[in-house]
Structure 1
Amino acid sequence: MIEAAPAGRQLILPLPPIHRYELNALLTDASNAEALAWLRRPEGWPQGRLALFGPAATGKTHMLQGLAAARGWPVLEGPSLRGLPEVPPGPGLGLDDADCAAEERALLHLLNLCAERGQLVLLAGREAPARWPVALPDLRSRLRAMPAVGIRPPGDALLAALLRRDFARRQLRVEEGVQAWLLARLPREAAAVAEAAARLDRAALAAGGRVTRALARSVLAELPGFGSDDESMALAEPDCPGPPSLL
């Protein structure tokens, strides 16, 4: 039996998360257009390989996971790559945080095995593979030959479109002035925009009112980076614990 909510307040039922890794859900602007164009034609990747690179919170993981989900590819994590890693067979494979691979020999084994199988490989990291500090000559030559496409932080227009879309998905009407106020204070990355929309949606339902600046200020005060200046708002992506091991 569901208890009635107190007068003046609505009962909030748990909802499934809206966010999913879907390549088609990504909006395009100058920051990611080249990368998305490459991801739409993986059969044309030179030697069947491609690397995505860029700063934290630019959508690398979303793109990699989105393509993998659409194509039925498994996804591995670089920090877990050790020894002779078990590489699932299939038409392709994604490796996130590839520049943080635990062992260089494990990454070399993965690339060689996928090449033998004709298995496509998509890597994601913070720098282009040619710039990774790699000691193994064979791995270094493979990484330097790999095509790489950069992703930049989202521009103002893309962030505004993401915020409008997140509100629209939740059927939450927010005045343009409030949206502009939010965009000036939110961290400049899609995940923070989506999290802010989710928090504001829950708060507006609980209060039975609309989203105002006062409500947003109280609800988002604990959101990391909210209200900070541009320099401190950038989300830090932790460094790898050191150069990959050769063992």
Structure 2
Amino acid sequence: MAEQLGFELPSVPALDRADFLVAPSNAIAVALIEGGGADKLVLTGQDGAGKTHLAHVWAKRHGARIIAATALAEADVPDLAQSSVAVEDVPQVAGNSAAEHTLFHLHNLVLANGHALLLTGRSAVRDWGIVLPDLASRIAAAPAAPLDPPDDTLLAAVLAKLFADRQLTPKADLIPYLLRRMDRSFAAAQDIVQRLDDASLAQKRPVSRTLAGEILDKDDTRAR
């Protein structure tokens, strides 16, 4: 059988609840997202941890709209507040007076209308850098759903999912090899899968341990 070669197909992340990989590092966050008891919730975790995935799960459960925090300054708040809302990457607008005041207004109006609010950010809320005191205090009062760094089992599953999203099927020895050599983070998993896919396409070679070794060896050389 011929070895699998990469083809330029779109990467389509699967964002349904059944596609989310539950592990001890994210079980609390999943339980809070699925519980539906809180009128507002803060979801935190490093890049690639699954915040956007869980935001979509939450939005589907609540019939909510999702908006990037960077789009808040131009948002129609009364219209948004007609349903539940998920605001992604709130720390990106920390210190932006217009965006912070819009989020404060949105927070109050969504809850006053009997809907739910989800806010996401990479770090713990205390490190978000929100300047508006009333907004900072309201965010700090929300229950926190943390997505902690992955263990080996979860990271292996994440790598497998990232390959599947790109319609790639790695050989059995590739993921254990990557786990031994890559940085221990979701962002590193996303990066190495993308680079393997790109290199496979550019060099017309299969996604393999050999190709991964060449990429990671170059990283080691640059780091010296």
TM-score using structure 2 length:
0.74
Q: What does residue 15 of structure 1 align with?
A: 9
Matches within 5 A, 1:132-143: 132-143=128-139
Q: Are the structure 2 counterparts of residues 171 and 90 from structure 1 closer, same or farther at C-alpha, using a change threshold of 3 Å?
A: same
Aligned-partner residue type, residue 56 of structure 1: D
- Backbone CA RMSD of aligned residues: 3.6
Pair 1:116 & 2:100 matched:
no
Pair 1:158 & 2:149 matched:
no
In the TM superposition, what is the alpha-carbon distance from 1:74 to its structure 2 partner?
1.5
Q: Which runs of 5+ in 1 are unaligned?
A: 1-7, 233-247
Q: What does residue 189 of structure 2 align with?
A: 193
> Which segment drifts farther, 121-130 or 191-200?
191-200
Pair 1:92 & 2:89 matched:
no
Q: Are the structure 2 counterparts of residues 144 and 14 from structure 1 closer, same or farther at C-alpha, using a change threshold of 3 Å?
A: closer
Q: Are the structure 2 counterparts of residues 55 and 113 from structure 1 closer, same or farther at C-alpha, using a change threshold of 3 Å?
A: same
In the TM superposition, what is the alpha-carbon distance from 1:126 to its structure 2 partner?
3.0
Asked whether the 8 Å contact 2:46–2:122 carries over to 1, the reply is yes
Q: What does residue 50 of structure 2 align with?
A: 59
Question: Using the alignment, how far apart are the partners of 1:84 and 1:153 within structure 2?
Answer: 33
Matches within 5 A, 1:206-225: 206-207=204-205, 211=208, 213-218=209-214
Question: Using the alignment, how far apart are the partners of 2:131 and 2:194 within structure 1?
Answer: 45
In the TM superposition, what is the alpha-carbon distance from 1:51 to its structure 2 partner?
0.3
Equivalent position to 1:82, from 48, 73, 89: 73
4+ aligned runs moved over 6 Å, structure 1: 8-12
Pair 1:174 & 2:171 matched:
yes
Alignment size in residue pairs: 214
Asked whether the 8 Å contact 1:154–1:189 carries over to 2, the reply is yes
* Pair member with larger Rg: 1
Question: Using the alignment, how far apart are the partners of 1:84 and 1:199 within structure 2?
Answer: 36
Question: Using the alignment, how far apart are the partners of 2:155 and 2:89 within structure 1?
Answer: 24
> Structure 1 vs Structure 2: percent identity of aligned residues?
31
Question: Using the alignment, how far apart are the partners of 1:53 and 1:180 within structure 2?
Answer: 28
Q: Are the structure 2 counterparts of residues 72 and 30 from structure 1 closer, same or farther at C-alpha, using a change threshold of 3 Å?
A: same
Question: Using the alignment, how far apart are the partners of 2:9 and 2:52 within structure 1?
Answer: 24
Post-superposition CA distance 1:155-189 (Å, at most 9, x none): 1110112234455674625133x322212233434
Q: Are the structure 2 counterparts of residues 227 and 149 from structure 1 closer, same or farther at C-alpha, using a change threshold of 3 Å?
A: farther
